[in-house]
Amino acid sequence: MAHIGIIGAGISGLTLALLLREKGHTVRVLEVSDQPGGAIRTTRDRDGWMAEWGPNTIIESSGRIKRLVSMLDLEGRRRYPDISAKKRYIVRDGRMVAVPGSLRELIRTPLLSRSAKLSILREPFRQRYRPVPSSQQTAPPHHSHSDSGTSFHTNDESLAGFVRRRLGEEFLKWPIDALVGGIYAGDPERLSVKHAFPRLALLEEQHGSLILGQIKGGVRRPPESDEIPRNKAEIFSFDDGLQVLPEAISARLGDAVILNSRVAGIEMGRTEAPGSESIANSRWRITFTDPQEPPLTFDSVIYAGTSQGLKSIKMPGPLSETVTPVADILHPPVVSLTLGFHRRDIGHPLDGFGVLVPGIEGFPILGTLFTSTLFPNRAPDEDHVTLTTYLGGTRQPEIAEKSEEEQVKLVLESLRNLLGLRGEPLYRHRILWARAIPQYETGFARYLTLMDRAEHEHPGFYMAGNYRTGISVGDTINAAFDLAERIDQDLIGS
């Protein structure tokens, strides 16, 4: 049995703690804030309005996610979207258009022109991506791109370059730009297809075509994989919002989670300190900014905090030099604004998941979720609705810096144009994430290399977070299962 310290009580750190304790290890989770869960936080007021601070859903993308829910006895509290939330909308020419869900709908949809639809039909006959030989590469500055969207100094194709090659410019400007705004609040010209949308890259690599790949069953996975294909994976939340999950894990961990604990430094090689908790052969020592908080010693340390937080923790020189650049991963600002209305004040039936807005359409918003359509109990009753709108991102970071009143005004104008909104909001909840979603841009492999090197050169030190293994809650949970297994095997072999 090992003694493991985990810095950060987001969903990554909490899941790791739960799994490692299940394997027989002793864990201690150190969280700087006054609440576990990181960006997963839910607010409900006395009138019955509910708002999520960060993500609204989890994709049930593997059997491990189901297992986590089962471990916590939360099956009865899980909620899947209402059948009326099946549609997805994208704005085209100033109005909402339903995303086609079948070949027949694709042929008829006004979302794409006739030439764009023909371009999709030609996709199976297009050649695969051919990396530029290293002898022919130039060395432009970081983030520079060729006309095809490839950053040659990394030989890492951008999502925009990939989509232009396989599906055409129009498909990029409307469906893909809207999707990227909704998922990453990012820019397809800058995101790496290999790192930000790895399944697309794998479909081309394995099948030579996105369409043929889907017909053949999608990305091929090892036989032992419990991954659920994204087109079959369901999304869910809980009866009282996503905060139910981190609260349940934290409650199960009990006093192993320490809140309001600000880590000052991580040191190697010390086993004893006056007043510290210590066990034989401990190799890592964590100190705190509060002088009244005694140092703790551990066999292993997992850094599961934010990438930005790496700058505020003192580490041994070689380790610091390796991991500090990870703090430079771009996280654009994003505002989440949840507004509540009388149902009668909205002309649209709200018969869908929500609406995404491509940048070419010129709206000041990234998109809006129909949150009370998605799940029950997000509004006081059936005569009221909630809508959650996102602003900012890499597309319009300056909008995230505006005042709350200015942002509300921009959102109301957009909703009047798109949804036929007539009334004023009865409820509002706003949260600004100054550093929101990590951007897996071209050249992102260098950050992965640094994190791998840190672990290889400093046995017993590990890193976890959505800036390493995928940005969704589901990605983070799956990565926690993988890392917990790896740590357990490392400890057995040490």
pLDDT at 167 over 50: yes
Same domain, 320 and 409: no
- Say which residue, 479 or 151, is predicted with more confidence: 479
Please compute the mean of the pLDDT values over residues 329-347 and round it to a whole number: 98
Residues 6+ apart with CB under 8 A from 130: none
Q: Binning pLDDT at 50, 70 and 90, where does residue 205 land?
A: very high
- Site of tokens 């002793």: 26
| Direct distance between the N- and C-terminal alpha carbons of the chain, in angstroms, rounded to an integer | 12
- CA dihedral (33, 186, 218, 145) in degrees, to 10, reads -130
CA distances from 489 to 1, 239, 285, 464 (A): 12, 37, 22, 17
CA distance 427 to 308: 32
Q: What is the pLDDT of residue 152?
A: 40
Domain's final residue, options 433, 457, 480: 433
Contact 191, 184 (CB under 8 A): yes
Q: What is the pLDDT of residue 133?
A: 61
Q: What six digits make up the tokens of 277?
A: 């908790």
Same domain, 216 and 253: no
> Does residue 91 lie in a domain region?
no
> Does residue 106 lie in a domain region?
no
CA distance 438 to 448: 13
- Site of tokens 């950060």: 8
Same domain, 158 and 180: yes
Instruction: Report the phi/psi class of residue 347: left, alpha or beta, with left for phi > 0 and alpha for psi in -120 to 50.
Output: alpha
> Does residue 445 lie in a domain region?
yes
CA distances from 377 to 46, 166, 317 (A): 12, 42, 51
pLDDT at 154 over 70: no
Q: What six digits make up the tokens of 457?
A: 């050169």
Handedness of CA 116, 117, 122, 123 (dihedral sign): positive
Centre a 10 Å sphere on the Cβ of residue 217 and count the other Cβ atoms it contains: 10
> Does residue 100 lie in a domain region?
no
Same domain, 368 and 401: yes
Q: E strand or H helix at 207, and its extent?
A: helix 198-207
Domain's final residue, options 411, 433, 455: 433
pLDDT at 144 over 60: no
> Does residue 105 lie in a domain region?
no
Q: Binning pLDDT at 50, 70 and 90, where does residue 134 land?
A: low
CA distance 359 to 201: 24
Q: What six digits make up the tokens of 290?
A: 């509060």
Domain's final residue, options 433, 465, 483: 433
Contact 464, 483 (CB under 8 A): yes
Please compute the mean of the pLDDT values over residues 374-387 and round it to a whole number: 96
- Say which residue, 4 or 154, is predicted with more confidence: 4
Centre a 10 Å sphere on the Cβ of residue 180 and count the other Cβ atoms it contains: 29
- Longest C-alpha distance within the chain, in Å? 75
> Does residue 220 lie in a domain region?
yes
Q: What is the pLDDT of residue 282?
A: 58
Please compute the mean of the pLDDT values over residues 8-25 and round it to a whole number: 98
pLDDT at 293 over 60: yes
Same domain, 459 and 318: yes
Please state which of the ranges 118-122, 133-137, 471-475 shows the lowest mean pLDDT: 133-137
Same domain, 325 and 455: yes
Residues 6+ apart with CB under 8 A from 338: 49, 51, 52, 371, 386, 387, 388, 389, 427, 428, 429, 430
Same domain, 283 and 353: no
For the chain, what is the mean pLDDT?
92
pLDDT at 317 over 70: yes
Same domain, 288 and 313: yes
Domain of residue 391, CATH code: 3.90.660.20
User: pLDDT per residue over 463-475, tens digit each?
Assistant: 999 999 999 999 9
pLDDT at 200 over 60: yes
Centre a 10 Å sphere on the Cβ of residue 155 and count the other Cβ atoms it contains: 17
Q: What six digits make up the tokens of 207?
A: 């099948």
pLDDT at 197 over 90: yes
Contact 156, 303 (CB under 8 A): no
Q: Concatenated DSSP letters for 433-450? A: ESS-SPP-BTTTHHHHHH
pLDDT at 332 over 70: yes
User: How many helices (H) does the chain have, and how many strands (E)?
Assistant: 18, 22
Q: What is the pLDDT of residue 84?
A: 80
Contact 366, 182 (CB under 8 A): yes
Give Cα 191 to chain centroid, integer Å. Answer: 14
Same domain, 303 and 382: no
Q: What is the pLDDT of residue 248?
A: 98
Q: What is the pLDDT of residue 294?
A: 95
CA distance 230 to 249: 26
User: pLDDT per residue over 397-421, tens digit each?
Assistant: 999 999 999 999 999 999 999 999 9
Centre a 10 Å sphere on the Cβ of residue 144 and count the other Cβ atoms it contains: 12
Amino acid 209 reads: S
Give the total number of structural domains in the chain: 3
CA distances from 116 to 93, 109, 171, 175, 484 (A): 15, 11, 7, 11, 45
Handedness of CA 246, 248, 252, 255 (dihedral sign): positive
Domain range for 288 is 3-37+245-329+440-493
Residues 6+ apart with CB under 8 A from 85: 351, 352, 353, 370, 373, 374
User: pLDDT per residue over 426-461, tens digit each?
Assistant: 999 999 999 999 999 999 999 999 999 999 999 999
Domain of residue 194, CATH code: 1.10.3110.10
Reduced to 3 states, what is the DSSP secondary structure of residue 194?
A: helix
Same domain, 208 and 219: yes
Same domain, 340 and 467: no
Q: What six digits make up the tokens of 305?
A: 């905090």
Q: What six digits make up the tokens of 477?
A: 């949970």
> Does residue 475 lie in a domain region?
yes
Q: What is the pLDDT of residue 493?
A: 77
Q: What is the pLDDT of residue 149?
A: 45
Domain of residue 265, CATH code: 3.50.50.60
DSSP H helices in 277-396: 317-323, 371-374
Same domain, 350 and 426: yes
Please compute the mean of the pLDDT values over residues 240-259 and round it to a whole number: 98
> Does residue 76 lie in a domain region?
yes
